[in-house]
Structure 1
Amino acid sequence: MQSFRSEIENPLVEKDILELERKIRLFKEGRVDEERFRSLRLARGVYGQRQLGVQMVRIKIPYGKVTSEQLHRIADVSDEYSRGRLHITTRQDIQIHYVSLDRTPELWSQLEKDDITLREACGNAVRNITASETAGIDRNEPFDVTPYAHATFQFFLRNPICQEMGRKFKMSFSATDEDTAISFMHDLGFIAKTKNVGGTEIKGFKVLLAGGLGSQPRHADVMYEFLETDLLIPTIEGVLRVFDRYGERAKRAKARLKFLVKDLGLDGFLTLVEEEKRALAYQSFPIDTIEFEKDIVFETENVPAVTIEDEKAYETWKETNVLAQKQEGLFAVGIKVHLGDFYTDKARLLADLVKKYAANELRFTLRQNILIRHVREAFLPFFYTELKKLGFAEEGYNSIVDITACPGTDTCNLGISSSTGIAAELERVLKAEYPQYINNKEVTIKISGCMNACGQHNMAHIGFQGMSIKSGNLVAPALQILIGGGILGNGQGRFSDKLVKIPSKRGPEALRILLHDFESNSNETEDFLAYYDRQGKTYFYDLLKHLSDTKNLTEDDFIDWGHDKNYVKAIGVGECAGVVIDLVATLLFESEEKIENATEAIKDKLWSDSIYHSYAAIVNTAKALLTGEGAKTNTHASIINNFDEVFVSTGKVTLEGTFADFVYQINKNEPTEEFAKRYAAQAAAFYKQVDIYRKQAVES
C-alpha cells in the first residue's frame, strides 16, 4: 500500500486521516484484528459493500446543506475514486460506492479541502444531524433551527463521549410542528418552539427521546415540552453519557437507546441524566446564530431570457415543485431525484446554476431529493428551462410518486430483495395509470430491502419490506405490505401495521387494489389514514390476502425486479454499527491510546475531554481483564460492577476503595484542570497495575 502526503491544514483532521491510513496498513499486514479494524473504518465513514473488495463511502453532510464548491468537490471525488454516481440517503448524506479501501484516506483528504468530512458517518457514534430542508425559509417556523443543528454537529464531532457507544445515535431538528424531520423516530428529536416569558419571546425545543424504527419500532417519549436553546448541548451530552455507560454492547439487537429507556423507564433514565450534570463542561451553552442571519447575496441581477414552450407543464411544475419562502419574493425549488441517484456531470451543472443564479446553497432532503433555496421569482422560468435540460424538472416533488427506497440488494449486505427495482416499477404504474395523484402529498410510499427500515417503510402510509417466500423447494423474492403509518405533527406519529406477505412481482397489483379501493370507498373528507382506521386492518388483509397464494407462481415470480436471473437469497453480515468482540491484547492496546488521548487533551486544556478519555481507558482496561475471565461485559455499568466482584473483592487487584468509587469520580467532580490531571494519572496507574497482573497471569 503506497502512502500519500496529506495537504490538510487542520492538524486534528490530518491526524485522523493519517490514522486511517496507518490502520489500513496494519490490517493488511495482519497486525490489527478484522473486527477492530471494521469498527475503526466505520467511524471514518467506510462501509463494506455487498460486492467483495470494494467499499461504500458515506459523506457526512449536516442537515443536508452544500454549496456549489462542495458539490463540485464531491463530484470530483466520485469521478476520481468511484464511478461518478452520487446517492442521497434518507439522512441527507451522500454515499459513493465501489471505492477501493486503499484509496479511502486520499479520498477523505480531498473532501476536507472544502470542509467535508467522513468522520462518524457510520459506526457506533452520533450519526449525521438531520433537519427540515426548509429550515430558515419556512413561513411557519418559529425560528431557524439550522444554527442549532450545526452547533450540535460541531460539538459532538470527535467528542470522546460518543466515539465507541454500543450502537449508533441519531438526532433531528424539525422547523415547525409539521415535524418534517420526524422527531418521534429518533434517539433525540427537537421541534422548534417559542414561549412568552414576561413579554419576552424565548426560543426553545420540544424534546423527544428514544424513538426508533427497525424490526421493533418505538415511538419516542416526550423528554421536555420546552427546553431553552442554551440547554440543548448540555442535555444532549447528558443523554449520551448515560447511553454510553448503561447501553447494551454485547447484544446488537438490544443496543439502541430505545431499549435502555424502555428498561429503565423514562423517570429512571432522566434521573441518571440529572446525575451527570456536575461532570459537564457546560451547564449552559449559548449558540451564536449571527453567521446564519447574514443577508442573502446573489452573484447576478441579470435575468436570462427564456421561452417557455409548454406553459401547462411549467404551471404544473410550479404547483408541485416550487415553494414560497418566508423571505419576500424568494422561492425554493424542489428537484425530484429518482431513488436519490444522480450523476456527477449533472451535479456540476446544477452547482454552477445555483452559484450564479440563486444564493449558492442547496439542501439534500430526507426524501432523497434536492431543494434549491433563494430563487427570485423572475428567475423561475429560467430555472425551469435549465433544470429541464438536466432532467431535473420532473413534477411530483414530495408527492406519492416520489417514492423513498433504500439501496437494498443493489449494494447492501443486509438486503433481502430489490427495493430499488420495485420502487421504479411502482413509480411507472403511478405515472401511467394514476396521473391524478401527481400532486398528492398526503400519501407516502416507502420501501426497505430488509427489516432494518433504512427506507422507513414502517412509518409510511403504504410501506413495502423486502423478504423472501417459499414455494415448495423454491424461494422467491417477496414483499411484506404495511399500511397506516405517518407523521401526525408536533412529535406525534404512527407506525404502520403489517398486513400480508406477497411475491414481489405482485407488488404493483397490491398498489392498484389499495388505490382503487381508496378512490371508491373513502368518504369525501377522509384522508388515507382516516380511511384506513375506519375500514380496519382486517378489511385490508382480506382485500390483499389472495395475492399471498404461492401455489400458482410463474417463472417470472422467481426473478426479482431489475434482474434477469432467478432469485437467490443471500444475506451478508451487516456492518451498520455491528458490535465488536475484542481480544484482551487489543483492548489493552486501545487503553494505552485512550490514556495518550487524555494526556493530549490536557495539553490542549480540554479538561472535560481528557476526563472522558481517562474514564474510557479505565473501563476499557477493566473490560480486558473481564474478557479474559469470560465475564459479562455487555454495558459499562456491568463492567464496573463485575470488576469489583471478580477482581477487587477477591484481592486480585488492589484499590483504595471499590472500583465503582474509582470510576464514578467522573460524575462526582466538576471538569476542572486539577481533576483532569489527577484522573489521567490514576487511569495510567490502573493500566500499569492491570498490565502487570495480566503478564503474570499469562506467564503462570
Structure 2
Amino acid sequence: MQSFRTEIENPVVERDILELERKIRLFHEGKIDEEKFRSLRLARGVYGQRQLGVQMIRIKLPYGKVTSEQLHRIANVSDEYSRGRLHITTRQDIQIHHVSLDRTPELWAELEKDDITLREACGNAVRNVTASETAGIDPNEPFDVTPYAHATFQFFLRNPICQDMGRKFKISFSSTDEDTALSYMHDLGFIAKTRVENGKEIKGFKVLLAGGLGSQPRHADVMYEFLEADKIIPTIEGVLRIFDRHGERAKRAKARLKFLVKDLGLEAFLALVEEEKKALAYHTYPIDTSDFEQEITFEEIEAPQVSIDNREEFELWKKTNVLPQKQEGLFAIGIKVHLGDFFTKEARELADLIKKYAANELRFTLRQNILIRHVREELLPFFYTELKRLGFTQIGYNSTLDITACPGTDTCNLGISSSTGIAAELERVLQIEYPQYVNNKDITIKISGCMNACGQHNIAHIGFQGMTVKSGSLVAPALQVLLGGGVVGNGQGRFADKLVKIPSKRGPEALRLLLNDFEENRQASEDFLVYYDRKEKTYFYDLLKHLSDTTNLTEDDFVDWGHDQKYVKAIGIGECAGVIIDLVATLLFESEEKIANAEETLQEKKWADSIYHSYTSFINTAKALLTSEQKKTNTQSVIVKNFDEHFVNNNLINLSGSFSELVYQIKENEPTEAFAKNYLEQAKEFYHQVDAYRVKEVSHA
C-alpha cells in the first residue's frame, strides 16, 4: 500500500486521514490486532459488509443536507471507488458499498474537498445528528432547528469525550410536536418549543432521554419539558460524560444508554449529570443562527417553458409529493426513492437542478427519500418534467406505499432474511391492489432484516422483522409480524406488538388480510391505531395465525424474496457496536496516544479537551493492568473501583491516595489551565508507574 497526498487544507482532517492510512498499513503488516483495527475504521465510517474483501462506506451528512457541489462529489466518489449506486439510510446518511479497504483514505480525502466527512459515521461515537427534513420550511414550526442540529454536529465531531464510548449514541431534532425526527426513540431527542418570559419569546426544547429500538425497545424519558436553547450543548456533554463513565462495555446487548438509565433510575442519572457540570468548559453555549437566516437566493429564476401531457397525473403528483413552505410562494418536492437506492447519473442531474433552480439545497429524509426545497410555484411544471425524465415522480411520498427497509441480507452481516426483497413485493401489491393508499399518511410499513431495527420495524403501524422458521430439518426465511407502533407526537410514541412469525413468502398475504380487515371493520373516521386498540392484539393474532403453519411449506417457501437459490441462514459478526477484545499492549499504547493528545490540546489551550484525554489515559492504563490479571473492566467506574481494590489497596501500585480520588479530580475541578497541566503530569506519572510494574511482572513470569 503506497502513501498518498491528501491535499486537504484543514490540518486536523488531513492528520485524521493519514492516520487511517497508517493504521491500514500496520493492520496489513500484522502489527494491529484485527478487533482493535475494526474499532478504528468504524470511527472513520468504514464498515465491513457481508461480501468478503470489501467495505461499506457511510458518509455522515448532518440532518441530511447536501449542496449541488457535495452531491456531485459523492457521485464522483461512488463511480471511482464503487459501483455508482447510492443508498439513503434512515439516519439521513449516504452509504456506498463494495469499496476496497486500501482505497478508503483517498476516498475520504476526495470527499473532504467539499466538506464531507466519514468521521464517526459508524462505531462507538455520536452518530449522524438527524432532524426533521422540513426544518426551516415547516409552516407549523416555532423556529428552525437546523442551526441547533448543526452546532451539535460540529461541537461533538472529534470531541474527546465521545471517541471511545461503550456504544453508539444517537441525537435528533424535531421541528414541531409532530415529532417527525422521532425523539422518543433516541438517546437524546429535542423538540422545538418556545415560551414567553417578561414579554420576550425564549427558544428552547423539550428533551427526551434514553430511548432506543432493537430487541428491547425503550420509550425515552422526559429529561426537561423546556430547556433553553443555549443549554443544549452543555446538557448533551454532561449526558455523554456519564454514559462514557458508567456505561456497559463488555456486554454488547446491554451497552446502550437506555440500559444505564433503566438500571440507575432517571433521578439518579440526572443527579450524576448535575454533578458533572463543574467539569464542563461551557455552562451555556449560545448558538449563532445567522448563517441559517439569510435570504433564499437562486442562481436562475426562469426555467424553460414546458407542456404537461397528462394534467391529471401532474395534479396527483402535486397532491402527494409537493409541500407548501412557510416562505410564501415556495414549495418543497418530495421524491420517493425506492428502498433508498438511486444512481450517480440521476444524482448529478438532480444536483444541477437544485443548483440552478432550488437555492442549491436538498435533504435526505428519515424515510430514505429526497426532499428538494425552495422551488418557486411557477417552476413546478418544469421540475415535474425534469424529475419524470429521471424516474423521480413516483407518487406516494411519505405514504403507506412508501415502505422503509434496511439493506438486510443484501450487504449486512447481521441480516437474517431479505428486507429489500419483501419490501419490493409489498410495494407492488399496494400499487396494484390498494391504489387508494397512495396518499395515505396514517399507515406506515417498515421492515428490518434482523432484530436490530435499522428499518425501524418496531415503530411502524405494520412492521416486519427478518427471522427464520424450521420445517423438519429445513430452514426457511421468515417474518415476525408486528402491529400497533407509531408516532403519537410531542415526544410520545408507541412500540409495535409482536404477533406471529410466518414464512417470508406469506408476507403479502398477511398484508392483504390486515388491510382488508381494516377497511371492512374500521368505524367511521377511525385511524389504524384506534382500530388496532379497539380490536386488541389477540384478534389480529387469530387473524394471521394460520399463516404460521409450517407443515405445508412448498419449495418456493425456501427461496427468499429477490433470490433464485434455496435459502441459507448466514449471519456474520455485527459491527454496529464495535465491541473490541482489548489487548494489554494495545491499551498501554492507546494510553500513550491519549497523553500525546492531551499535550497537543494543552498547547492549543483547549483545557477541557486536554483534561478529558488525560482522564482516558488514566482509564486505559488501569484497564491494561486489570486486563492482564483478568479482572472485571466492563465500565469505567468499575475499572476505577477494581484498580483500587486489587492494586492500590494491596500496595502493588503506590499512590498518594486512592485511584478514584486521583481520577475523579475531573469532576471536582473546573477546566482551567492549571488543572489541565497538573492532571496531565499525574497521568504521565501514573502511566510510567504502571508500565514499570507491568515490565517487572512480565520479566518474572
Taking structure 2 as the reference length, the TM-score comes to: 1.00
Whether the aligned pair in 1 keeps the contact of 2:20 and 2:105 (CA below 8 Å) is yes
CA RMSD of aligned residues (A): 0.4
Q: Which residue of 1 aligns with 2:386?
A: 386
Equivalent positions of 1:364-443 (< 5 A) are 364-443=364-443
Matching residue's letter, 2:168 = K
* Counterparts of 2:2 and 2:402, CA distance in 1: 44
Whether the aligned pair in 2 keeps the contact of 1:64 and 1:363 (CA below 8 Å) is yes
Matching residue's letter, 2:95 = Q
* Counterparts of 1:480 and 1:352, CA distance in 2: 43
Q: Which residue of 2 aligns with 1:314?
A: 314
Matching residue's letter, 1:186 = H
Q: Which residue of 2 aligns with 1:222?
A: 222
Equivalent positions of 1:108-119 (< 5 A) are 108-119=108-119
The alignment status of 1:238 with 2:203, answered yes or no, reads: no
Q: Which residue of 2 aligns with 1:332?
A: 332
Whether the aligned pair in 1 keeps the contact of 2:601 and 2:610 (CA below 8 Å) is yes
Q: Which residue of 2 aligns with 1:565?
A: 565
* Counterparts of 2:295 and 2:621, CA distance in 1: 52
Whether the aligned pair in 1 keeps the contact of 2:446 and 2:456 (CA below 8 Å) is yes
Q: Which moved more, 1:576-585 or 1:61-70?
A: 576-585
What is the Cα deviation at residue 594 of structure 1?
Answer: 0.3
Secondary structure in structure 1 of the residue aligned to 2:664: helix
* Counterparts of 1:302 and 1:689, CA distance in 2: 72
* Counterparts of 1:470 and 1:670, CA distance in 2: 60
Equivalent positions of 1:169-208 (< 5 A) are 169-208=169-208
Matching residue's letter, 2:203 = K
| Cα deviation digits, residues 100-137 of structure 1 (max 9, x gap) | 00000000000000000000000000000000000000
Structure 1 stretches (4+) deviating beyond 4 angstroms?
none
Q: Which residue of 2 aligns with 1:555?
A: 555
Q: Which moved more, 1:577-586 or 1:90-99?
A: 577-586
The alignment status of 1:450 with 2:469, answered yes or no, reads: no
Q: Which residue of 1 aligns with 2:123?
A: 123
The alignment status of 1:254 with 2:216, answered yes or no, reads: no
What is the Cα deviation at residue 303 of structure 1?
Answer: 3.0
What is the Cα deviation at residue 3 of structure 1?
Answer: 1.4
Secondary structure in structure 1 of the residue aligned to 2:595: helix
* Counterparts of 2:340 and 2:609, CA distance in 1: 38
Q: Which residue of 1 aligns with 2:579?
A: 579
* Counterparts of 1:593 and 1:76, CA distance in 2: 35
Q: Which residue of 2 aligns with 1:546?
A: 546
* Counterparts of 1:222 and 1:313, CA distance in 2: 45
Secondary structure in structure 1 of the residue aligned to 2:414: coil
Q: Which residue of 1 aligns with 2:153?
A: 153
Secondary structure in structure 2 of the residue aligned to 1:363: strand
Q: Which residue of 2 aligns with 1:105?
A: 105
* Counterparts of 2:244 and 2:114, CA distance in 1: 32
The alignment status of 1:609 with 2:609, answered yes or no, reads: yes
What is the Cα deviation at residue 304 of structure 1?
Answer: 1.6
* Counterparts of 1:502 and 1:31, CA distance in 2: 47
* Counterparts of 2:588 and 2:182, CA distance in 1: 41
What is the Cα deviation at residue 578 of structure 1?
Answer: 2.6
What is the Cα deviation at residue 25 of structure 1?
Answer: 0.2
Q: Which residue of 1 aligns with 2:295?
A: 295
* Counterparts of 1:570 and 1:542, CA distance in 2: 32
| Cα deviation digits, residues 426-470 of structure 1 (max 9, x gap) | 000000000111100110000000000000000000000000000
Matching residue's letter, 1:24 = I
| Cα deviation digits, residues 162-219 of structure 1 (max 9, x gap) | 0000000000000000000000000000000000111100000000000000000000
Q: Which residue of 2 aligns with 1:661?
A: 661
Equivalent positions of 1:429-508 (< 5 A) are 429-508=429-508
* Counterparts of 1:113 and 1:525, CA distance in 2: 53
The alignment status of 1:90 with 2:90, answered yes or no, reads: yes
Matching residue's letter, 1:166 = G
Matching residue's letter, 2:514 = L
What is the Cα deviation at residue 373 of structure 1?
Answer: 0.2
* Counterparts of 2:257 and 2:300, CA distance in 1: 49
Q: Which residue of 1 aligns with 2:76?
A: 76
Whether the aligned pair in 2 keeps the contact of 1:42 and 1:577 (CA below 8 Å) is no
What is the Cα deviation at residue 302 of structure 1?
Answer: 1.4
What is the Cα deviation at residue 301 of structure 1?
Answer: 2.0
Whether the aligned pair in 1 keeps the contact of 2:355 and 2:361 (CA below 8 Å) is yes
Matching residue's letter, 1:648 = V
Matching residue's letter, 2:613 = H
Whether the aligned pair in 1 keeps the contact of 2:42 and 2:578 (CA below 8 Å) is no
* Counterparts of 1:63 and 1:78, CA distance in 2: 21
* Counterparts of 1:148 and 1:131, CA distance in 2: 10
Q: Which residue of 1 aligns with 2:27?
A: 27
Q: Which residue of 2 aligns with 1:522?
A: 522
* Counterparts of 1:186 and 1:129, CA distance in 2: 11
The alignment status of 1:266 with 2:269, answered yes or no, reads: no
Secondary structure in structure 2 of the residue aligned to 1:612: helix
* Counterparts of 1:414 and 1:77, CA distance in 2: 26
* Counterparts of 1:509 and 1:245, CA distance in 2: 49
Q: Which residue of 1 aligns with 2:648?
A: 648
Q: Which residue of 1 aligns with 2:141?
A: 141
* Counterparts of 1:495 and 1:668, CA distance in 2: 41
* Counterparts of 2:274 and 2:66, CA distance in 1: 37
* Counterparts of 2:203 and 2:450, CA distance in 1: 40
Whether the aligned pair in 1 keeps the contact of 2:248 and 2:634 (CA below 8 Å) is yes
What is the Cα deviation at residue 228 of structure 1?
Answer: 0.1
Secondary structure in structure 2 of the residue aligned to 1:567: coil
Secondary structure in structure 1 of the residue aligned to 2:552: coil
Matching residue's letter, 1:471 = S
What is the Cα deviation at residue 6 of structure 1?
Answer: 1.1
Matching residue's letter, 1:466 = G
Whether the aligned pair in 2 keeps the contact of 1:405 and 1:448 (CA below 8 Å) is yes
Unaligned 5+ runs, structure 2:
none
| Cα deviation digits, residues 326-362 of structure 1 (max 9, x gap) | 0000000000000000000000000001110111000
Matching residue's letter, 2:13 = V
Whether the aligned pair in 2 keeps the contact of 1:142 and 1:193 (CA below 8 Å) is yes
Q: Aligned pairs, how many?
A: 700
Q: Which residue of 1 aligns with 2:532?
A: 532
What is the Cα deviation at residue 525 of structure 1?
Answer: 1.6
* Counterparts of 1:569 and 1:650, CA distance in 2: 51
| Cα deviation digits, residues 58-99 of structure 1 (max 9, x gap) | 000000000000000000000000000000000000000000
Matching residue's letter, 1:377 = E
Whether the aligned pair in 2 keeps the contact of 1:172 and 1:183 (CA below 8 Å) is yes
Whether the aligned pair in 2 keeps the contact of 1:303 and 1:378 (CA below 8 Å) is no
Q: Which residue of 2 aligns with 1:15?
A: 15
Q: Which residue of 2 aligns with 1:213?
A: 213
* Counterparts of 1:435 and 1:271, CA distance in 2: 53
* Counterparts of 1:229 and 1:438, CA distance in 2: 39
* Counterparts of 1:688 and 1:665, CA distance in 2: 19
Matching residue's letter, 1:579 = V
What is the Cα deviation at residue 2 of structure 1?
Answer: 1.6
Secondary structure in structure 2 of the residue aligned to 1:374: strand
What is the Cα deviation at residue 5 of structure 1?
Answer: 1.0
Q: Which residue of 2 aligns with 1:341?
A: 341
Secondary structure in structure 2 of the residue aligned to 1:500: strand
Whether the aligned pair in 2 keeps the contact of 1:306 and 1:382 (CA below 8 Å) is yes
Secondary structure in structure 2 of the residue aligned to 1:276: helix
Whether the aligned pair in 2 keeps the contact of 1:45 and 1:57 (CA below 8 Å) is yes
Whether the aligned pair in 1 keeps the contact of 2:500 and 2:541 (CA below 8 Å) is yes
Q: Which residue of 1 aligns with 2:44?
A: 44
* Counterparts of 1:579 and 1:353, CA distance in 2: 43
Matching residue's letter, 1:194 = T
| Cα deviation digits, residues 549-586 of structure 1 (max 9, x gap) | 01111110000000000000000000112311111011
